[in-house]
Amino acid sequence: MQSAGTGWGNGLLGVIIFSGSLPATRVAVGGFSALFLTSARAVIAALIGAAVLGLLRQARPERKDLASLAIVSLGVVVGFPLLTALALQHITSARSIVFIGLLPLSTAVFAVLRGGERPRPLFWLFAILGSATVAGFALSNDGSASLTGDFLMVAAVVLCGLGYAEGAALSRRIGGWQVISWALLLALPLMLPAAILAWPQAWSDVSAPAWIGLAYVSIFSMFVGFIFWYRGLAIGGIARIGQLQQLQPFIGLALAGLLLHEPVAWSMIAATALVVVCVFFARRYA
């Protein structure tokens, strides 16, 4: 019971931290290009990870772990940040947050494919129903729709689910913060040149909110959140704890409305609520 409670607690903290990612990204792309934002946040987080690894004298990962770390890098260091930054140039953060309702299903699928978990049939029934709700919302025209933005968000969710499941499985052996730290360092040779190439031409044109957004996604979204999230997934089960992401759309929509003053349509709230109900029952049968 203690391990289960620890898993849920760590997972919840991770979800709360991640809930601010899309609103912060929306603010940051107002001052930085999508490529610079993606690469800069990875470089900053990699430097933090390197410092922590050095201070705590962590051993290097084994050769057999490099493939898994590469998948984590592709999913959560490069893929999800870049695709969401591109998507948020076409859609509002409020709309993008609804697509996070697909993350529990994406994570669960990869929990089976990469983590060896086997949820019960009823789990898949509710997980698919929730995803169908999100798809129906995406196809509806609520005034903020964009085929390009929606497609980028779906692709981002798929890669993120892969990165979550792969990282969680690896965390069982080497630890959650170690996984994200090594994954960041593995991506550093790619992300550092990308940051230099996408360097802003005029720093004076970058607003203070954009700097705050960059700081949040670099420190919290890219590093601190994963410490709790991977630990929660590793302890409590990838498919089961992954369903905590049912809370992320609610928290994210609240942040988008309160901090960014974006319109939150009733259809967004209705779709999110239905997804949360479906994911609640999916979690129960995980």
Residue 1 confidence (pLDDT): 46
Residue 144 confidence (pLDDT): 59
Classify residue 246 by its DSSP letter.
G
Tell me the CB-side half-sphere exposure of residue 83, using CA atoms within 13 A: 21
The C-alpha atoms of residue 93 and residue 89 are separated, in whole angstroms, by: 9
The C-alpha atoms of residue 43 and residue 38 are separated, in whole angstroms, by: 9
Residue 250 confidence (pLDDT): 74
For 98-113, letters b (16+ CB in 10 Å) and e give: bbbbbbbbbbbbbbee
116 Rama sector, left if φ>0, alpha if ψ -120 to 50, beta otherwise:
left
Most confident listed range (25-34, 134-143, 248-257) = 25-34
Amino acid identity of 165? A
pLDDT band (50, 70, 90) for residue 120: confident
Q: Is the pLDDT of residue 113 over 50?
A: yes
Question: Of the given ranges (117-121, 233-237, 243-247), which has the lowest mean pLDDT?
Answer: 243-247
pLDDT band (50, 70, 90) for residue 88: confident
The C-alpha atoms of residue 25 and residue 185 are separated, in whole angstroms, by: 22
pLDDT band (50, 70, 90) for residue 271: confident
Higher pLDDT, 256 or 49: 49
Most confident listed range (125-134, 144-153, 166-175, 236-245) = 166-175
62 Rama sector, left if φ>0, alpha if ψ -120 to 50, beta otherwise:
beta
pTM of the model: 0.85
Element (H, E) at 252: helix 247-259
- The DSSP secondary structure of 23-69, one letter per residue, reads HHHHHHTTTS-HHHHHHHHHHHHHHHHHHHHHHTTPPPPPGGGHHHH
Decide: 101 and 279 in contact? Cβ < 8 Å: yes
Q: Is the pLDDT of residue 142 over 60?
A: no
Alpha helices of 114-146 — where are they, by DSSP H? 121-139
Domain spans of the chain? Answer: 2-196+208-284
Classify residue 118 by its DSSP letter.
-
pLDDT band (50, 70, 90) for residue 143: low
pLDDT tens digits, 189-215: 999 999 999 998 888 888 999 999 999
Residues in the chain: 286
Mean pLDDT of all residues in 149-175: 91
Q: How many CB atoms lie within 10 A of CB 177?
A: 21
